[in-house]
Structure 1
Amino acid sequence: MNWNSYIKEFTQYLLIEKGLSQNTIINYQGDCEKLKVYFSESEITPLNITTADLQNFIYHYSKTHKARSQARLISGLSSFFDYLLIENYREDNPMDIIESPKIGLKLPDTLSEEEINKIIDAIDLSHPQGERNRAILETLYGCGLRVSELINLKISDLYFDEGFIKITGKGNKQRLVPTNLYTENIISNYINQQRPLTPPNKGKEDILFLNRRGNQLTRVMIFTIIKQLAEKANIKKTISPHTFRHSFASHLLNGGADLTVIQALLGHESITTTEIYLHVDKTKLSEVVNKYHPRARN
């Protein structure tokens, strides 16, 4: 087999056996493709490549990419060679002794409630897609969704009578996220008033958020909507759809919510992923210590 065959098998393994999301699989496949292209004019294959070969490739890659990108590449390639080892294509993983570069803690960007309101207030509700865009932002912020979860949200996933929505997250894992009455009303208003004006294309009848041609919105379109609204609202921060998810978590934490509850709402497998929000507002941590520690009370 050639590079393409091994990479194809690897991506099928990630999808079927590991149950990873499509975005993660695309990233891992991209890592392998970079390696394939680098050695395309040599006789090096996934079966005979050595640690030294990989070190040369990573050194070349590091000249144009930052430490965080290097670390992600190394993680992807390690998974690829782990797969070859599991399938007995190789007897070792040549990535085992290659260390990732040290990267600092990357704190998520957040918006204040005032900044979020400014962005939402910048929406022109007289525009044909105005109510839709407001519903999109209120759903991101009110429910803490990933952008991939948002664009795949279905009308049949809305259980407003019971007060929650059903989310299909990474690895097709499902979770229930409570909704508040305010967000429910915004979504319902879009469904009842604006969405009927855009006939869905075949197969998209149940998709909640549609573009003006009746198709499912893309991740890029959500990014574009938010970027344009942030500029209109004169918000200088670099924000993305994920910023609303970060803000959802941070505002809950600052309001006194338990970290394990936030973990469940966000769909994080590990509490360590959620713990990054503890670093966002150190003032809140100081207040907790000073309020509850016996020495602080004396």
Structure 2
Amino acid sequence: MSIQKTIDRARLGEKLPEMPWYVQQFIDYKLPDLSPSTLLEYVRDYESFFNWIRAEGLSAAPALKDVTLEELESLRMENITAYRLYLTTRTEGTNSRTTVTRKLSALRSMFHYLSQIAEDEHFYPLLKRNVMAKIEIKRTNKPKDTAAKLKGKILEEEELTSFIDYIREGYAADVANNKQALYAHAKNKERDACIASLILNSGLRVSEVINLNMNDLDLGNKLLHVMRKGNNDETFKTPVYYRDQARLNLERYLALRDTEYAAPKREKALFLAVPNGQKEGKRMTKRAIQAMIIKYAKRFGKPYLTVHKLRHSFATDYYLQNDIYKTKEQLGHASTETTEIYAHLTDKTMSEAIERRGNEE
């Protein structure tokens, strides 16, 4: 099981006893199909909703676990509309349209289960009236819209290798007057360049990168064994190929992994960091990798660049040489609908390349 899944499963176990019994039953029903991370988000969404109906006087429950099915049955369309409005306009923690859609979808999924699948001892539905069935939830992110938002915010063509070279060499010149930054860079530049190179040459998600172990790596075949997002078979890892440039960066990092990061024999993680005040290397965290990429991106002149945009950068470049189905498999997408983003992005990339070629002639 991945590190994050282990953490999220523990958090899920802590939160479930605070929920009504029927929520616990729904989560048990979905457990074989959804990851602990997704189910934890569901529970958090229900926590928000139940707290809201209690605050609005729509439930007399003294605690979350006491919200009754009868109180859910008595909700009206105007209540759901008010909740949607609350999510989008509250002064603290205002949600994006995508987040609101996800929260309402989580509610609709549970209400559907309670009214259409779950039964009481007399074989009747647990929920006799389902107000969420009346709610229309429109898709907020179409591939074309997502592509438009990414326009100009990913690395293209020679920028992919330039960014890796900058991490290894160029950054030092930009922080020449900062001894602390220079020291940290000298210590971590091979590791940092390797992580960026691996994403830019394979399209891995950051969660997949942090979960990599030493025995997941096959240098000879330029292959990684990856715990893919959405795969609930915890015994199976998907083989993912990477380009030759990543192999060269991996070799440079591996040559110093054990000594530079004081890697204990028990530590299986591929990418390590030595926490402040400690002597032994430990698995890098998701937050550390995200902060690392942002640090280099700002100095590189691409302040909008993030770890996930490195993945988009690889995918756009990969799609130019391959079809949508190969790109889908390489990225681990559940459907080609998500991969369509790169069809829209490469249309723009190719048209700009043609214009540049025309200007050069």
How far does the alpha carbon of each residue in 1:199-239 deviate from its partner, in whole angstroms, 9 at most, with x for none? 34685x21111121322222211110011001111214x12
CA contact (8 A) 2:168 2:193 kept: no
| Partner residue, 1:294 | none
Q: 1:189 to 1:5 in 2, by over 3 A?
A: farther
The alpha-carbon distance between structure 1 residues 187 and 25, as it changes in their structure 2 partners (threshold 3 A), is farther
Structure number with higher relative contact order (C-alpha < 8 Å, ≥ 6 residues apart): 1
SS at match of 2:221: coil
Partner of 1:295: none
Q: What is the DSSP-based 3-state SS (H/G/I as helix, E as strand, rest coil) of the residue aligned with 1:143?
A: coil
Distance apart, 1:242 and its partner CA: 0.9
Question: In the alignment, what sits opposite 2:294?
Answer: 227
> Which amino acid is the alignment partner of residue 69 of structure 1?
T
Cα 1:117/1:9, change in 2 over 3 Å: farther
SS at match of 2:262: coil
**From 80, 84, 90, the counterpart of 2:127:** 90
TM-score between the two structures when normalised by the length of structure 2: 0.70
1:61 touches 1:70 (CA, 8 Å); kept in 2? yes
Any conservation in 2 of the 1:154–1:207 contact (CA below 8 Å)? yes
Residue from 39, 54, 58 that aligns with 2:53: 39
1:130 matched residue in structure 2: 189
- SS at structure 2 position matched to 1:176: strand
Quick one: which of 6, 17, 34 aligns to 2:32? 17
Q: 1:80 to 1:200 in 2, by over 3 A?
A: farther
Question: Is residue 28 from structure 1 mapped to residue 42 from structure 2 by the alignment?
Answer: yes
Q: TM-score, normalised by structure 1?
A: 0.83
Pick aligned residue for 1:212 from 271, 274, 282: 274
How has the CA–CA distance of structure 1 residues 7 and 266 changed in structure 2, closer, same or farther, with 3 Å as cutoff? same
Root mean square deviation of aligned Cα: 2.7
1:51/1:247 Cα in 2 relative to 1: closer, same or farther (>3 Å)?
farther
Q: Which residue of 312, 325, 329 corresponds with 1:264? A: 329
**Which of 175, 198, 201 is the equivalent residue of 2:238?**
175
Between structure 1 and structure 2, the one with the greater Rg is: 2
Single out whichever of 274-283 and 220-229 deviates more from structure 2: 274-283
Taking a change above 3 Å as real, the CA distance of residues 3 and 40 of structure 1, as seen in their structure-2 partners, is: farther
Residue 175 of structure 2 is matched in structure 1 by none
Identity fraction in percent: 27
Q: How far apart, in 2, do the equivalents of 1:164 and 1:2 lie?
A: 44
Q: Give the Å deviation of 1:61.
A: 0.9
Q: Distance in 1 between matches of 2:338 and 2:328?
A: 8
1:139 correspondence with 2:205: no
> How far apart, in 2, do the equivalents of 1:158 and 1:128 lie?
23
Q: Which stretch shows the higher mean deviation, 98-107 or 63-72?
A: 98-107
Helix, strand or coil: the match of 2:247? Answer: helix
Distance in structure 1 (CA, Å) of the matches to 2:305 and 2:22: 37
Change (3 A) 1:124 1:253: closer
What is the CA-CA distance between 1:90 and the residue it aligns to?
2.4
- Could you tell me how far apart the structure 2 residues matched to 1:9 and 1:211 are? 40
Kindly report which structure 2 residues correspond to 1:46-61, keeping only aligned pairs within 5 A, or say none: 47=69, 48-49=71-72, 50-52=75-77, 53-61=79-87
1:69-80 superposed matches below 5 A: 69-80=99-110
1:271 CA displacement = 1.1
Equivalent residue letter for 1:190: Y
Distance 1:197 1:286 in 2: 46
Gaps of 5+ in 1: 288-298
- Shift of residue 11, structure 1, vs aligned partner: 4.3
Deviating more after overlay: 131-140 vs 61-70: 61-70
Q: Is the 8 A contact 1:119 1:233 kept in 2?
A: yes
1:240 matched to 2:271? The reply is no
SS at match of 1:166: strand
Equivalent pair of 1:144/1:245 in contact (CA under 8 Å): yes
* Cross-structure match for 1:106: 146
Return 5+ residue gaps in structure 2 as ranges: 1-16, 62-66, 120-125, 170-184, 276-280, 353-361
- The one-letter code sitting in structure 1 at the alignment partner of 2:146 is K
Measure how far apart 1:144 and its partner are. Answer: 0.3
Contact 1:67 1:102 in 2 (8 A): no
**Aligned letter for 1:75?**
S
Between the aligned partners of 2:270 and 2:186, the Cα distance in structure 1 is: 18
Counterpart of 1:112, as a letter, is: E
Once residues 92 and 240 of structure 1 are traced to their aligned partners in structure 2, the CA distance between those partners, rounded to angstroms, is 45
Contact conserved, 1:166 with 1:175, CA < 8 A, in 2? yes
